[in-house]
Amino acid sequence: MPILLKRIKIIESKIDEFLDLISDASLIFQKGVNYYLHGNKEEFENRLKSVSEYERKADEIRVEIERNLYIHTLIPESRGDVLGIMEHTDDVIDIMKETLILFSIESPETIPELTELFEEVTEASIQGVDFMVKAVRAFFKDLQAVYDHIHKVYFYEKEADKIAEKLKRKIFKSNLELSKKLHLSRFVTSVEKVSDYAEDVCDRLSICVIKRQI
């Protein structure tokens, strides 16, 4: 029994490490977008490299957690739920990396009057990720607190949607060429989508919480 408990503690520690990477990567992602908006391409590229490295480490830890759960047949009754949560959470850091890569490759044109709203939609998306991480932590440590964090994820996802719509309206009223408007609008959607992925994690978490309470 002590060996089993020790192994579970190791898994919990790895999950915490995994979630720390997601949380840190989201802050770096936000910095990266802001640097891009303000024309600091060098610092933007540095943040892209950092997010890519965090994504690689998160993948390694997720695979390690999965391997340990199967090899040591730990928590078999909820193993599928844990693995599903980990995989969906990993998707969040994946979409952040992919979005920064698109910025780097396609270099959408921005104009100063759009910067503030673009920063706001990025902030709302990252707030959603922050509370998603808190919700996942709570699932393993304080089940009663999960819904409090999930509620905030849903709030910030809706905020990101509203700000994104406002920003897109402003983009299409600007003097940019239509092709550039369409291009930039697609990037607004990409940034907004980060909060959608966080919401997807919480949808799955809600089901897992109900199953554990039955």
Q: List, for residues 85-126, the tens digit of each pLDDT value.
A: 999 999 999 999 999 999 999 999 999 999 999 999 999 999
pLDDT at residue 4 tops 50:
no
Q: In total, how many domains does the chain have?
A: 1
pLDDT confidence of 214, banded at 50, 70, 90? low
In the predicted structure, residue 3 carries a pLDDT above the cut 50:
no
Contact present, 48 and 88 (Cβ < 8 Å): no
pLDDT of residue 7: 62
User: What is the C-alpha to C-alpha distance for residues 85 and 130, in angstroms, rounded to an integer?
Assistant: 15
Work out whether the CA dihedral 156, 159, 164, 170 comes out positive or negative.
Answer: negative
Please tell me the distance from the alpha carbon of residue 128 to that of residue 141, in angstroms, as a whole number. 20
Half-sphere exposure of 6 (CA within 13 A, CB side): 3
User: Are residues 208 and 139 in contact, defined by beta-carbon separation less than 8 angstroms?
Assistant: yes
50 vs 160: CA distance, rounded Å: 24
Mean pLDDT across 23-27? 97
Q: pTM to 2 decimals?
A: 0.91
Q: In whole angstroms, give the CA distance from residue 4 to residue 17.
A: 20
DSSP code of 110? Answer: -
**Range of 103's domain?**
2-213
Q: Residue 143 to residues 66, 78, 140, 205: CA-CA distances in angstroms?
A: 22, 14, 7, 10
Q: Which residues contact 153 (CB under 8 A, 6 or more apart)?
A: 128, 131, 132, 135, 195, 198, 199, 201, 202
pLDDT of residue 2 exceeding 60: no
State the CATH number of the domain containing residue 199.
Answer: 1.20.58.220
Confidence of residue 5 (pLDDT cuts 50, 70, 90): very low
Q: Looking at the predicted structure, is the pLDDT value of residue 168 above 50?
A: yes
The 3 state secondary structure assigned to 115-169 is HHHHHHHHHHHHHHHHHHHHHHHHHHHCHHHHHHHHHHHHHHHHHHHHHHHHHHH
Q: Distance between alpha carbon 108 and the CA centroid of its chain, in Å? A: 22
What is the per-residue pLDDT for 1? 40
CA–CA distance, 132 with 85 (Å, rounded to integer): 11
Cα–Cα dist 133/103, whole Å: 25
Lowest mean pLDDT among 62-71, 81-90, 102-111, 188-197: 62-71
pLDDT at 73: 55
Whether 50 shows a pLDDT value over 80: the answer reads yes
